[in-house]
Each structure stands twice: as C-alpha cells, then as structure tokens.
Amino acid sequence: MEMENKKGTTTLGLVFKDGVVAAAEHRATMGTLIAHKTTQKVFKIDEHMLLTTAGLVGDAQLLARLLRVEAELYKLERNEAMPVKGAATLMANILNQRKFYPYYVQLIIAGVDASGPHVFSLDAAGGSIEDVYTTTGSGSPYVFGVLEDHYKEGMSEDEAIDLTIRALTAAIKRDSASGNGMDVVVITKKGYRELSSDEIEERKKKLGL
C-alpha cells in the first residue's frame, strides 16, 4: 500500500523588517498523479507562529497538531507565547528521536516573538537552522533562484509579500508537482493574517505574473 505523499511541493518563509511571510502552493502529488488540488501546507500554530510542511501528508498533519498543542500548553503554563526558537528546538528534538524511523517531512517554522521575526528550516533528522529566508520541496530550486537575486534585509511588508508571490509563482511555472493556487500568510506583532485569493491575484497582476 502506497502512502499518500506530497513531496511534490513548494513552501517558503522569509523575514522582513517587521515580521515574516510564509507561503505554499496547493498541489499534492503521488508520482505523476495530481492527488489533491487544495492541500493545506501552511498551518497556524498560534497568533504569532506558523508551520509549513513538505512530505507525507499524515506525518505533516500529526506534527502540526502536536506543535499546536505544545504551544497552547506552554502558554497556559507560563502565561506567555512560546518563543519561535523554542518551538523549532522542540520540533527538532521530536524529529531527531525518530531519525531511524523518520517522519518524512521538511518543515519551516516561522513567527514573531519578543526577540523579533524568525524563520527556521528543519530536516527529517532534526536539523534546525535559522535563516532570513528558506524554501522546501521540489520547487525550492526555483524559489532560491528568485530569493537569491531579489531578497534584501529590511524589506517592507508589501515588498516581502510581493517577493514571496513572485518566487512561488516561478516554482509553479516550472515545477510540475507545484500548482493549483497558493496560500500566503503574514505575521507581525499585530498578529496572523492570511491573504485572500483576491489580494493574491491583484498583486500578481500588478507584478505582471
């Protein structure tokens, strides 16, 4: 029995002046079959933090539920939100404990806490690396190409959103396992905001995409 797989994926996260932007497209593939066209790959963990997933659907959903519960417990016990680095370290430890029977995932944890905006990339063995931007999945080479060329520190929210949409669109155009629209989320100290499909389309038109 073949497990449902969504390794054909593109997700990304980047830091801008006042927060983070993260995004993912909607397509899930099993080999050459497009298995689903509305797959969730960006999970809200709390008002200040999110998780993006590439890999096995079941593993991704389980880990998203687990991190959401841990973040809620942290908040109840300490009366403050879980730091982004703390969430990344916790998830890295969970992944590392299973490295011989691994969760087949590649994750991004992104958010804003008292120390500022953060983006962490995590691999299936529990490696956790903080960076100003990162990307996962089969479309990631195309995203890296756009971000390497256009990312700059201190970007405004609008600039960061537009760059995210531009990079993800490049992956969708060239990676057959990515497509069927996108989710884009912005987190600042004001909270968690998911862009509407209308806003995404409007921005794409202005960018000539």
Question: Residue 74: how many CB atoms within 10 A of its CB?
Answer: 18
Concerning whether 52 is annotated as a catalytic residue, the answer is no
Q: Which residues contact 38 (CB under 8 A, 6 or more apart)?
A: 26, 180, 181
Amino acid at residue number 96:
N
Q: How is residue 134 written in tokens? A: 């990162």
Selecting among 9, 52, 135, 164, the annotated active-site residue is 9
Cβ proximity of 106 and 137 under 8 Å: yes
Residue 30 contacts residue 163 (beta carbons within 8 Å): no
Torsion sign, CA atoms 130, 144, 173, 169: positive
- Catalytically active residues are 9
